[in-house]
Amino acid sequence: MIYPSVSAIILAGGQGARMGCRDKGLVEFDGRPLVAHVLAAIAPRVGRIAINANRNTDAYARLGYPVVEDRIAGYPGPLAGIAAGLDWCPTTELLVIPCDTPGIGGYCVERLWGVLGEADAAVAHDGRRLQPLHALVRERCRENLDHFLETGGRRVDQWIQTLDWRQADCSDHPGMFININSPDMLHD
């Protein structure tokens, strides 16, 4: 199913500290950059896509999607990427997905959409824990996020708790949340 009112931001703006400071989204996994796996899974499901990146922006732009940078300097974390995504978002809902989960399935979008209703956000749950970087957030949450960031907030899970949110049960596909965090995981 296609969700034209949903845009997606793929978070690739981190420092990649656990990956030896390599740009994780561009690291090769099974013959393609990690970000390409995520793009292939979600592109058929959403209306628009942008990539949040703070370095190697030309390499990301060559993938054919807009690249948006954090407006907060110094790699403050994924919330800055979500804020950049909400600033860019041309639709009413924003799908947030990290670049380092090559097993993500397009059905994640369906699960999130299925529980969103009138809430501010829907967040995936893998059966063991909440996955706050796999979320569907309404564009109207931008001011709330700006306030959270301005008051020193940096943790995605804490920001989610300030919203009216719903949990999407994805426990039947926990593998889609495995993120590639280190060079060793590229070969497992």
Residues annotated within the binding site for GTP are 11-13, 24, 52, 70, 100
Residues flagged as binding site for Mg(2+): 100
From CA 55, how far away is CA 57, in angstroms rounded? 5
Cβ pair 44, 106 in contact under 8 A: yes
Q: How far apart are CA 165 and CA 117, in angstroms?
A: 10
Neighbour count for residue 8 (Cβ, 10 Å): 27
First to last CA, the chain: 32
Of 88, 104, 136, nearest to 29 by C-alpha is 104
Q: Which of 38, 25, 166 is nearest to 102 (CA)?
A: 38
Q: Which residues are known binding-site members? A: 11-13, 24, 52, 70, 100
Q: Are 130 and 157 in contact (CB under 8 A)?
A: yes
Enter the tokens of residue 70: 């954090």
Collapsed DSSP state (helix, strand, coil) of residue 181: coil
